[in-house]
């Protein structure tokens, strides 16, 4: 299995073999360079593809044959467009998970209450969602994540356990922070790319073509395109015999500590 530990063992063994071989035949320097280049590429792949489970096992879908899927919204709560998205979900009687950014709660406390009161789950998406979050020390990451939980607890009295890494990036420091903080890492297996794709038809097609039992879909409640396609998306899902369930119920997990 390709993970951080196995990769390190394999690369260390390979380098050792080359060093031994070097005693008998001179090994050109570029051989070491190529190994380090491939090693860097594998580490990069592991960091940026959450479903690779390279650094930490992340839940990206449910193991089920039932026609069930879960939807999640990252980066809120936001005046644009969390309330409108909540209205669509209410009209359709659908429950979702909102991975909120701690610093966005300030000034949007009412929206956070609304998310909770309307039966959705709130997950932790860090406090800062800092651009360099993945370069933070493990301690700093943990502090950032804990601060998000503190604000949520102060606002709605609940402490989130589900954690979605900012930008979906994982690394050894984040693994330590997740373990120390006793969080449950949650990824996705369908990324809508709704922060990049503005073409509604294209976005809708991209998501609906990938739907399968147990899927976890990543949307952003800051995306106008997501707000626009959401009713059509829900209609498509229902017409095709799927049920949208809450993430924690689909995965049989407790969402709060
Ligand atoms: Zn995010």
Are residues 139 and 31 both part of a single domain? Answer: no
Give me ligand 1 centre to Cα 8, in Å.
29
Tokens read off for 137: 């020390």
Percent of residues, the chain, with pLDDT higher than 90: 98
Q: Residue 18 has what pLDDT?
A: 94
Give me ligand 1 centre to Cα 99, in Å.
8
Are residues 230 and 135 both part of a single domain? Answer: yes
Phi and psi at residue 203, to the nearest 5°: -65, -45
Give me ligand 1 centre to Cα 238, in Å.
27
Tokens read off for 206: 């991209």
Count the neighbouring beta carbons within 10 Å of the beta carbon of residue 220. Answer: 22
Beta strands in the chain (DSSP E): 68-74, 97-100, 121-124, 162-163, 184-185, 190-191, 215-220, 243-244
Q: For residues 222 and 97, give the distance between their C-alpha atoms in angstroms, rounded to a whole number.
A: 14
Give me ligand 1 centre to Cα 50, in Å.
13
Give me ligand 1 centre to Cα 168, in Å.
8
Q: Is residue 55 part of a domain?
A: no
For the chain, the domain total comes to 2
Q: Is residue 14 part of a domain?
A: yes
Are residues 94 and 165 both part of a single domain? Answer: yes
Domain span at residue 141? 68-251
Dump the DSSP string for 87-144.
Answer: HHHHHHT---EEEE-GGGTTT-HHHHHHHHHTT-EEEE--SS--TTGGGS-HHHHHHH
Give me ligand 1 centre to Cα 139, in Å.
20
Q: Residue 119 has what pLDDT?
A: 98
Q: Residue 1 has what pLDDT?
A: 81
Are residues 101 and 166 both part of a single domain? Answer: yes
Tokens read off for 86: 């909540």
Are residues 208 and 236 both part of a single domain? Answer: yes
Q: pLDDT 10s digit of each residue in the chain, 257 long?
A: 899 999 999 999 999 999 999 999 999 999 999 999 999 999 999 999 999 999 999 999 999 999 999 999 999 999 999 999 999 999 999 999 999 999 999 999 999 999 999 999 999 999 999 999 999 999 999 999 999 999 999 999 999 999 999 999 999 999 999 999 999 999 999 999 998 998 999 999 999 999 999 999 999 999 999 999 999 999 999 999 999 999 999 999 999 99
């Amino acid at each position: 299995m390709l993970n951080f530990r196995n990769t390190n063992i394999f690369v260390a063994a390979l380098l050792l073999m080359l060093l031994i071989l070097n005693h008998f035949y001179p090994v050109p320097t570029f051989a070491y360079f190529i190994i380090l280049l491939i090693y860097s590429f594998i580490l990069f792949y592991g960091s940026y593809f959450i479903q690779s489970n390279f650094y930490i096992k992340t839940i990206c879908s449910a193991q089920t044959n039932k026609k069930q899927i879960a939807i999640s919204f990252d980066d809120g709560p936001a005046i644009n467009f969390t309330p409108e998205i909540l209205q669509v979900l209410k009209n359709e009687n659908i429950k979702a998970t909102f991975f909120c950014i701690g610093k966005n709660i300030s000034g949007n406390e009412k929206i956070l209450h609304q998310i909770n009161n309307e039966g959705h789950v709130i997950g932790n998406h860090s406090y800062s969602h800092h651009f360099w979050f993945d370069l933070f020390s493990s301690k700093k990451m943990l502090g950032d994540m804990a601060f998000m939980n503190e604000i949520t607890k102060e606002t709605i009295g609940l402490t989130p356990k589900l954690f979605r890494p900012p930008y979906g990036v994982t690394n050894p420091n984040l693994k330590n922070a997740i373990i120390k903080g006793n969080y449950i890492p949650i990824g996705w297996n369908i990324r809508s790319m709704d922060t990049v794709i503005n073409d509604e038809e294209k976005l809708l097609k991209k998501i609906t073509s990938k739907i399968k039992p147990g899927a976890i879909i990543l949307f952003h409640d800051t995306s106008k395109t997501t707000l626009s396609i959401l009713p059509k998306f829900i209609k498509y899902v229902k017409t095709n015999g799927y049920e949208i369930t809450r993430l924690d119920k689909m995965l049989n997990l407790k969402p709060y500590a």
